[in-house]
């Protein structure tokens, strides 16, 4: 009976460990996101040369894609990211912003140490 109990403990511990590892892998970008507060150096809408085709019964939406650059007010470092967040359409160069940058996971080797999915949290006029 003790052998079965030890085996069940081992299986339970293994399942918990696998669950934790899976949770970190699945949510890596959110767990290791970076909040940047600073001035917008550039916001560009990226126009994709594609045609959206749909049947009459389908609903289509426009594709929004932005390239964002923000100068961190503490370090002076400029962070860049891509985003599909439509809120960036109203942001302009020179405004201040608080944004959350999501990093690509380290197993995506070609995009290592870069950011995607910049989420606009707060937009405000910079104090001069």
The sign one gets for the Cα dihedral 17, 18, 19, 22 is: positive
CA distances from 16 to 9, 27, 125 (A): 11, 16, 47
The CATH code of domain 29-48+61-128 reads 2.40.50
Quick check: 92 and 59 in contact, CB under 8 A? Answer: no
Block means of pLDDT (10 residues each) for the chain, 128 residues, are 86 94 89 93 80 57 80 94 90 94 91 89 89
**This prediction's pTM:** 0.74
So what's the pLDDT on residue 19? 93
CA distance 62 to 65: 10
């Amino acid at each position: 009976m003790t052998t079965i109990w030890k085996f069940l403990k081992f299986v339970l511990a293994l399942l918990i460990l696998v669950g934790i590892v899976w949770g970190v892998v699945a949510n890596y970008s959110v767990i290791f996101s970076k909040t940047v507060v600073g001035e917008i150096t550039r916001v560009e809408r990226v126009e994709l040369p594609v045609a959206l085709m749909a049947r009459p019964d389908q609903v289509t939406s426009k594709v929004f894609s932005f390239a964002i650059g923000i100068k961190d007010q503490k370090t002076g470092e400029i962070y860049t990211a891509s985003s599909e967040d439509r809120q960036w359409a109203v942001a302009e160069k020179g405004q201040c912003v608080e944004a959350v940058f999501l990093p690509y996971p380290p197993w995506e080797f070609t995009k290592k140490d870069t950011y995607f999915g910049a989420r606009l949290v707060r937009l405000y006029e910079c104090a001069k």
